[in-house]
Amino acid sequence: MRFEDLYITGVGVHIPRRVAVADAVERGDLDERLARRTDLASIAVSDGATGPEMAAEAARTALRRSGTVPLDVELILHADVYYQGHDLWAPVSYIQREAVGNRCPAIEVRQLSNGGMAAMELAAGMLNSSGLRTSSALLTTGDRFCTPGFDRWHSDPGTVYGDAGTALVLSRRPGFAQLRSLCTVSEPELEEMHRGDDPFGAEPFEVRQPMDLEATKQAFIDKVGVSYSVARVTAGQSEVLKRALSEAGCDLSDIDWFVLPHFGRRRLTQTFLRPWNLDRDVTTWAWGRTVGHLGAGDQFAGLAYLAESGSAKPGQRCLLAGIGAGFTWSCAVVEIRRTPSWDNP
């Protein structure tokens, strides 16, 4: 979808302490060969703060930076991947109470690693139809990946998961960046890749603990073949990229910055850099490799890094790309309008 008057007015990230990958290897948490393959420098690891707590902190930062008051927030969406700290509980309501305090609709989004981008598309549709020029939506993500259910170092070989909360304020009020287009493509024929041959369980992690995404992927590939899987993934990602660029009225060569998922280097190269013929220097890899894959929050965090560091200059275009099990792919074209004068948290 193409947009004419939707803006990003604030972003925020709460990153806990970083654990050096070299130290993790020395402790035996991560195999040295896998560490070399991922080429990560460090991983953000929470000492106890949960995903919703970190998301609320990031939300406070994003709202302060945007100058948005609670009355103007008409929608709150929270995306997450892993356990949020309580059973049968709405984490987004906690974030609403802690960071906003109003009574607008507050809804949780579950689209795994593409959750943040999915939330942005849902919010954009709502704001695009709103008649209020000050309407804003608060989007958050937050996860703490920990045992016993998830092994951040081994549950998804090739990607190491980091803990963080992220937030973005999308608004009809002008901001430091303008949303030009946002598209999502789904491919449900690949949903079995994260289910494999496992039976449906009656409780979380009944079948396997911790999670082993490599096992479910291998079971799926054994059933349908590598070429089928690769062809479907390639087609979905190619389609969403072409649509997002076309609706923004630009070509791939017009993009100055690529905000990509924080995969390990080998997976990042295979999934994005080689197919799109990109150099790592035009991506957020240099920063992403210091925090790890933040679940649904890589895109919000990457954009925050570009804004906070001053790397993205006025007039430049950024492409935010997401991919999540299910499968879904999303791409958004964002144009930087001005350099924000924020105080970094």
> With 90 as the cut, is the pLDDT of residue 85 above it?
yes
The mean pLDDT value for 43-65 works out to 97
Q: Kindly list the domain boundaries of the chain, sorted by start residue.
A: 7-175, 180-336
Amino acid occupying residue 90: A
- Residues of the chain above pLDDT 90, percent: 94
Structure tokens at 242: 């072409």
The mean pLDDT value for 304-313 works out to 96
Domain 180-336 part of CATH 3.40.50.300: no
Q: What is the pTM of this model?
A: 0.96
Q: What is the DSSP string of 105-167?
A: -EEEE--GGGHHHHHHHHHHHHHHT---TT-EEEEEEEE---TTT--TTTSSTT--B--EEEE
Q: Cα torsion for 198, 199, 201, 205, to the nearest 10°? A: -10
Confidence of residue 342 (pLDDT cuts 50, 70, 90): confident
Determine phi and psi for 195, rounding to 5 degrees: -120, -35
What digits encode the pLDDT tens for the residues 190-206? 999 999 999 999 999 99
State the sign of the Cα–Cα–Cα–Cα dihedral 81, 29, 34, 23: positive
Domain 7-175 part of CATH 3.40.50.2000: no
State the sign of the Cα–Cα–Cα–Cα dihedral 326, 110, 45, 195: negative
Q: How far is CA 5 from CA 91, 222, 235, 330, in A?
A: 30, 47, 30, 20
The mean pLDDT value for 95-101 works out to 97
- Whether the upstream peptide bond of residue 272 has omega within 30° of 0, thus cis, is no
Confidence of residue 341 (pLDDT cuts 50, 70, 90): confident
What digits encode the pLDDT tens for the residues 207-244? 889 999 999 999 999 999 999 999 999 999 999 999 99
- Does 7-175 match 180-336 in CATH topology? yes
* Angle (nearest 5°) at CA 288 between 285 and 291: 155
The mean pLDDT value for 325-333 works out to 96
